[in-house]
Structure 1
């Protein structure tokens, strides 16, 4: 079981990674926003 801090950090890193992927693919902002909400 990870600590809360680790969970937040992992989620934040994944969010940044997802945003970079969206930027790279120039996917629509709506899709990126919806994806980050999952």
Structure 2
């Protein structure tokens, strides 16, 4: 379940999880903009 993955990531490194979200978000947005017009 996705909940399990989130919990595992939170327990593994909550700081990384927070930074990852902000780091992946703009990256995905930029990628989507390039792939999808």
What TM-score do the two structures reach when normalised by structure 2?
0.49
What TM-score do the two structures reach when normalised by structure 1?
0.49
Larger-gyration structure (1/2): 2
